[in-house]
Amino acid sequence: MRALCVQRSCLFYNFNCEIMDIMNRTKIVFETYSTEETAKIAFQMAADAAAGQVFALIGDLGVGKTVFTKGFAEGLGIDEPVSSPTFTILQIYEEGRLPLYHFDVYRIEEPEEMEEVGFDEYVYGDGVCLIEWANRIEEILPDDTIYVVIEKDLGKGLDYRKITVVRPGEGS
Amino acid sequence: MKILAIEASGPVAGCALLEDGTLTAEYSVQYKKKHSQSLVPMLNEMKEMLDLDLSSIDFIAVTAGPGSFTGLRIGAATVKGLGLALDKPVLPVPTVDSLACGLYGTDCVICPLMDARRQQVYTGIYENKDGLRILEPQCVTALTEITGKLNELGREVIFLGDGVPVNEEALRDEMKVPYLIAPAHLNRQRAASTAVRAAQIYAEKGEEALVSADDFRPEYLRVPQAERERGDKRNYKVFV
């Protein structure tokens, strides 16, 4: 795990990372070198998640959103296999510590379509939402959405991922 | 006249039977269990309790909207399923009207508030001294819009609905006229109110008020998202 040149280094979830306070939000940048490491971060985030939180999971095809999601579900204590909601848009898991509302909005063309799914009831509800491709419906995400952006950098290896987590509030 | 009423538009799941002006049964639960799990068992229990032959009902009343998307869909599915199986029509009742019917014989103005999230409420303004009068038909709007209208009316108001707790502070700030908040047993949707309102609507409009189970659709009353969003358009790329 290596450091990038931003505000301060620290240990978060046992990963070295960089934390920066920016525009009323806290940005944490992790670097991972394997799917296990990515899943570990997801696991921890889920274990710390509070009811009502919304996680926007953003990244291109093949970047590891599914790996992240599976780690996340495990972190909530969900043993059931997590299947892709690409066609169903929403999949609900109730047996974890908190209900998990797993969205995949890849197929959504207009944010208005999300009304049909009852989006507001989940996103302002008592569970945890994880929304893949959330950038497609950014306009209707709650203000305190936590962004998780996963990027590759082939110059750093095939398995390298840069995971940027942006949370509302400062001084995480 | 036998009216079966279903309530699933909000936090309450309920059913009721109004038979020739007598409420023979009303079941009501406001609990986290999803309406999809509670409605049909509840209906079944009521049916058993009343030795009810479902084919003897005249129509099925349901709060048709606004309300929670999933709730309205569950109510609609239940009512359509029943209606198709029994070959009975549906009488859609506007949710906010049904809420207002829960209060009666008051000189106050009645204002139901349903939480529509994103700082909005489903609401309307009514009188129900000896019959429901609609002063402001049901709508979705910002709370300040409706408090503005109520202040203009200058009369005492009774508020009810799940939109009250969420807006309690704002009401204290915005309301210039005196107001009451209905107590718990009068504060939420009731299948009994829906049944009574349906009977009133039928008395007024007859067959015109009915719709086939096949054709019935909920009415969501949502403002298109594009109109709703104001202010900064977020772009996560600013941070990454």
CATH number where A91 lies: 3.40.50.300
Q: pLDDT at position B229, please? A: 55
The string of pLDDT tens digits covering residues A92-125 is 999 999 999 999 999 998 888 888 888 988 999 8
pLDDT of A57 > 90? The answer is yes
- For residues A120 and A72, which has the higher predicted lDDT (pLDDT)? A72
Can you give the pLDDT at residue A2? Answer: 41
- The answer as to whether A2 is a domain residue is no
B124-153: burial string, b at 16+ Cβ within 10 Å, e else: bbbbbeeebeebbebbbbebeebbebbeee
Rg from Cα positions in chain A: 15
CA distance B213 to B192: 21
Percent of chain B at pLDDT > 90 equals 85
Domains B2-94+190-222 and B103-186 agree in fold = yes
Indicate the burial class of A124 (C-beta count within 10 angstroms; 0-12, 13-18, 19 or more).
middle
Q: How many CB atoms lie within 10 A of CB B203?
A: 10
Give the count of domains, chain A: 1
B103-186: CATH, from 3.30.930.10, 3.30.420.40, 3.40.109.10, 3.90.1150.10:
3.30.420.40
Q: Give the residue among B5, B13, B56 at the shortest CA–CA distance from B32.
A: B13
Q: Is residue B1 within 8 Å of residue B13, measured between CB atoms?
A: no
Asked if residues B112 and B193 have their Cβ atoms less than 8 Å apart, the reply is no
In this predicted structure, what is the pLDDT of residue B36?
85
Domain membership of residue A131 as a residue range: 8-168
- Residue A1 domain-assigned (yes or no): no
A3 within some domain: no
Q: What is the mean pLDDT of residues B72-81?
A: 96
Where residue A21 falls among pLDDT bands split at 50, 70, 90? Answer: confident
Judge whether B104 is closer than 8 Å to chain A, CB to CB: no
ipTM: 0.71
| Nearest beta carbon to residue A164 from set B118, B233, B240 | B240
Residue A77 domain-assigned (yes or no): yes
Please tell me the CATH code under which domain B2-94+190-222 is placed. 3.30.420.40
- Asked whether the beta carbons of B52 and B60 are under 8 A apart, the reply is no
Residue B20's pLDDT is: 96
Query: Is residue A117 in a domain?
Result: yes
The predicted model scores a pTM of 0.83
- Look at the block and give the residue holding tokens 């066609």: A87
Contact B234 A138 (CB under 8 A): yes
Residue A84 pLDDT class (50, 70, 90 cuts): confident
Q: In Å, how far is A40's CA from the nearest CA of chain B?
A: 21
Closest CB to A121: pick one of B70, B225, B234: B70
**Of the given ranges (A10-14, A127-131, A157-161), which has the lowest mean pLDDT?**
A10-14
Name the one residue in this structure whose structure tokens are 């000896």: B130
Cα–Cα distance for residue pair B135/B96, rounded to 1 Å: 12
Is residue B233's pLDDT more than 60? no
pLDDT digits (tens, 9 = 90+) for B126-142: 999 999 999 999 999 99
| A92 assigned to some structural domain | yes
pLDDT in tens, B25-50: 999 999 877 888 899 999 999 999 99
pLDDT at A112: 81
Binary contact (B229, A139; C-beta < 8 A): yes
Calculate how close chain B gets to A149, using CA atoms only, in Å: 8
What is the average per-residue pLDDT within B166-174? 95
pLDDT band at A83 (very low <50, low <70, confident <90, very high): confident
In this predicted structure, the answer to whether residue B226 has a pLDDT above a threshold of 60 is no
CB contact under 8 A, A166 and B229: no
Q: Checking phi first, is residue A118 left (phi over 0); if not, alpha (psi -120 to 50) or beta?
A: left
Mean pLDDT of the residues in chain A: 89
d(CA B225, CA B172): 29
Answer whether B93's CB lies under 8 Å from B201's CB.
Answer: yes
Put simply, whether B119 touches A (Cβ < 8 Å) is no
DSSP tag of B130? S
| Sequence spans of domains, chain B | 2-94+190-222, 103-186
Q: Cα separation of B186 and B180, whole Å?
A: 12
Angle of helix B35-50 versus helix B69-86 axis, rounded to 10: 40
Res B180 pLDDT > 50: yes
Mean pLDDT over the full length of chain B: 93
Higher pLDDT, A96 or A20: A96
Question: Which of A56, A114, A124 lies at the smallest CB-CB distance from B117?
Answer: A124
For residue range A26-43, list pLDDT tens digits in order: 889 999 999 999 999 999
- Which residue in B69, B229, B239 is closest to A22 by CB distance? B239
In this prediction, residue A10 carries a pLDDT of: 75
